[in-house]
Amino acid sequence: MENDNFFERVYTIARQIPFGRVTSYGAIAKALGTARSARMVGWAMNASHSLEDVPAHRVVNRKGLLTGKLHFDGTNLMQQLLESEGVEVVDNQILNFEKHFWEPEITQ
DNA sequence: AAGGTGACCGGCC
DNA sequence: TGGCCGGCCACCT
């Protein structure tokens, strides 16, 4: 369960997400150079549970839906965090997703 | 070693 | 955006 390079890379991107911003798994995958494996990003986030520096609550799917909310705490914690950052969330969906969307930088 | 899984994405209706 | 299907890649048992 040590940090693998692949996971660490995803975490690095997630940590780069600014306050009050959100991004999608696909965007992170693309930043990693593997846009096709957006699933892997979600998998990496799953392992991020052990970490604290990974704001997984800022990572949502392409539709702006808090799909991972169920994985967070089993509650609306994810939504609470986003709203706390100024992101409007209703029914597990981010309002003005495009406005809050932030594209991760390419980390080679 | 092989199969199953998954917090997805894109295309189509 | 909504729902369904196929593809994709790494991790787990």
Tell me the pLDDT tens digit for each residue of A24-45: 999 999 888 776 678 889 988 9
Q: Nearest CA to the C1' of C9 belongs to which residue?
A: A37
**Is residue A18 predicted with pLDDT exceeding 90?**
yes
Chain-centroid distance, C-alpha A35: 15
**Protein-nucleic contacts, chain A 55-74 to strand B, CB < 7 Å:** 56, 59, 61-63, 67-68, 70-72
pLDDT for the residue A38: 82
pLDDT for the residue numbered A74: 74
pLDDT bucket at A87, cuts 50 / 70 / 90:
very high
| Per-residue model confidence (pLDDT) at position A80 | 92
- Between A85 and A49, name the one with better pLDDT: A85
Q: What is the pTM of this model?
A: 0.90
pLDDT recorded at residue A101: 94
**CATH code of the region A2-100:** 1.10.10.10
Reference A26, options A80, A67, A62, A76; nearest CA is A62
CA distances (Å), A70 to each of A17, A74, A78, A92, A105, in order? 21, 5, 9, 10, 27
